[in-house]
Each structure stands twice: as C-alpha cells, then as structure tokens.
Amino acid sequence: MKKLNIEFQELPYAVEEAMNRLRINIKFCGKNTRKILITSSMPNEGKSSVAINLWKMLAEAGFPAVLVDVDLRKSVIKDRHHIKDADKLPDLGYFLSGQSEMEDVIYETQVENAYIVPCMNLLENPSALLEDARFAELLDKLAETYRYVIIDSPPLGSVADAAQIASLCDGAALVVRAGETSRSLIKQSFQQLDQVGCTLLGVILNRAQTTGRAYKKYYGKYGKYYSQYGYGYGTYGKEAAAASDSTPSK
C-alpha cells in the first residue's frame, strides 16, 4: 500500500479536549455506526477540520480508521495539509470513473491505523459518479475493513451531493458555526438528513462562546441538540486566536 505524508496542525489544548470528547461520543454510538458523515449547512463552518482531526484521534486511540474525502468540488485537505505530488496520484475520482481499483486509492499515512482515500483533483460535476453503485460499494467495503469510515462531504445547503452521500452513511454529525449559520439552515439540514434516512448523531458547534445571552438567544431553540450530545466547542487552525473571544450575533 502506498503512503502519503499529511501535515497536521497542533491544536490548542481546549480544542484538543473538545475533539477528544467528540471521539468518545462517537465511540458510544454503537458498533453498527461505522460510516460517519461529517457535514455542514454551508461552506466555511469547519467540517473538514473536524473530520480530519476526528479521524486522526480515532486512529491514535487504536481504531483502524479511513478518511474519505468526498468534497470533490471544493476539497481543501490536499492544500491545507500539504500533501505532496498530489496531482500525480490516483484518488477517489479515479476510482469512481473506473480508472483505478479500490486498493489503488487507499493510502497509509504516518499515523498508525490512519488511512485515507483522498481527493487530489477537483471535479466540476461529480453527482453522476456519486450516484453510481461503485461509490456505495466502496463505502461498504471500507466499513468491512476499517472500524471507522469518516466521510468529509460538501455542505448540505450547497449541492445535492451531500444528501446523496448521507443516504449511504450510518449517521451524520453536523458542524455549525456560531453566529453565522441561521436557525432556518440548521433546521433544513436536519430535514435533509431525515429525508434520506441518515441518523443525526449530533451537532458540533464551532467557534462559539458558550455562555451569555447572545448564545442562548441565537441557539436556544436548538440547544437541546448541543447539550444532549456534548460535542466540543472550539476553533480550528489559524482562526483559533481570532475566534476565541467572539460572541455569536444575530
């Protein structure tokens, strides 16, 4: 199996602890929850950061885990994590189009138990490929081989791809950016997941100050989801310092 070196950003302590809580909560979702979708309602909510750090932590905890980058239109993982010679390697698009077999697009990483099916080359319209039985078969085979299949998808509110991907997963975690994602969009995302039969495992509230009137006023209606699942609140990567003192706004 070929190997990719992936650069990981060091997380602030509070964020690392929040991600550890998320990892533990995922573990308690049950043995039949293997294919886990990480998505959001709109772009720039932090879903890819959550997906890659959750995947890494699961692997470090001893669980064989594979990350599948299915954000085929606007993936940020290749550039953000400095995967070298990426354009020369077969990726998920190669497999979906029949140019490569499954074993050709699964890569080891420098983290023990952490494997990746990357997106190296962006596609303008991958919808037909994602609807093909070949994609569903890939996810099923990965779930037979690895304890966790973490799937980074496009936002639910951007294109139909995310709902199609969700229909093939055992559950989904929705990343919500505090002060940016409207309640109507959050509700719409819940409905989309429900319509395709994908269980909502929980909500991850990102870049939030979790006390004060602004938080309660903006997210009060959906607070039961946040408190029920206890997932982490925090910031990721270069935005951490700027967001740490932010307060949600209307």
**For 213-250, how does the pLDDT look when each residue is reduced to its tens digit (9 = 90+)?**
544 554 444 443 333 333 333 333 322 222 222 222 22
Residue 86 has pLDDT above 80, yes or no: no
Alpha carbon 214 to its chain centroid, in Å, reads: 27
Q: Could you tell me the pLDDT band of residue 207, with boundaries at 50, 70 and 90?
A: confident
Is 127 inside any structural domain? yes
46 within domain boundaries = yes
Say if 245 falls within a structural domain: no
Do β-strands 171-177 and 200-206 pair in parallel, antiparallel, or remain unpaired? parallel
- Judge whether 43 lies within some domain: yes
In the chain, the number of structural domains is: 1
- Tell me the CATH number at 20: 3.40.50.300
Residue 3 within any structural domain of the chain: no
pLDDT of residue 87: 64
Residue 134 domain-assigned (yes or no): yes
Residue 194 lies in a domain: yes
Residue 1: inside a domain: no
Share of the chain above pLDDT 90, in %: 59
pTM: 0.82
More confident residue, 132 or 83: 132
Question: What is the Cα–Cα distance from 8 to 64, expressed in whole angstroms?
Answer: 18
Write out the residue range of the structural domain in which residue 218 sits. Answer: 13-238
